[in-house]
């Protein structure tokens, strides 16, 4: 079992994808002003969230649900930091000899 980072900021630095309120978000970043920006599609609707560094630092980890609780302008949100799995089309079995 992997250790849980002590802060949400540390967790964000090592994850590839976020889940926010049950929605998967591949598009998230920290900008120059240290704001966390998250975007994802919910059906045809683009949803956006922005969290300040103070809100990120105040986030708490819920060990029972393995998620972070963060409070933003629109209320409380649940974040799950995920590692995305990728694949490639390289076929190592059929190498030219």
Parse the chain into domains and list their residue ranges.
8-81
Q: Are 66 and 84 in contact (CB under 8 A)?
A: no
Put the strands of the sheet holding 45-51 in their side by side order: 27-30, 36-42, 45-51
Take residue 53 and report the two structure tokens written for it. Answer: 């560094």
Mean pLDDT of the chain: 86
Q: Does residue 71 carry a pLDDT above 70?
A: yes
Nearest-CA neighbor of 52 among 31, 66, 25? 31
Asked if CATH classification 2.30.29.190 holds for the domain at 8-81, the reply, yes or no, is: yes
pTM of the predicted model, to two decimals? 0.78
pLDDT digits (tens, 9 = 90+) for 11-62: 998 888 999 999 999 899 988 888 999 999 999 999 999 999 999 999 999 9
Q: Does residue 64 carry a pLDDT above 80?
A: yes
Looking at residue 54, its pLDDT comes to 95
- In the numeric block, the tokens 């560094």 are attached to 53
Cα 38 from chain centroid? 8
């Amino acid at each position: 079992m992997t250790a849980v980072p002590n802060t949400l900021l540390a967790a964000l630095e090592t994850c590839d994808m976020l889940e926010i309120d049950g929605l998967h978000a591949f598009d998230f970043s920290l900008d120059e002003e240290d704001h966390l920006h998250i975007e994802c599609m919910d059906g045809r609707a683009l949803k956006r969230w922005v969290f300040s560094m103070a809100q990120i630092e105040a986030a708490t980890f819920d060990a029972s649900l393995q998620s972070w609780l963060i409070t933003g302008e629109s209320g409380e949100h649940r974040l799950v930091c995920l590692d995305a799995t990728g694949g490639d089309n390289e076929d190592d079995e059929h190498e030219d000899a």
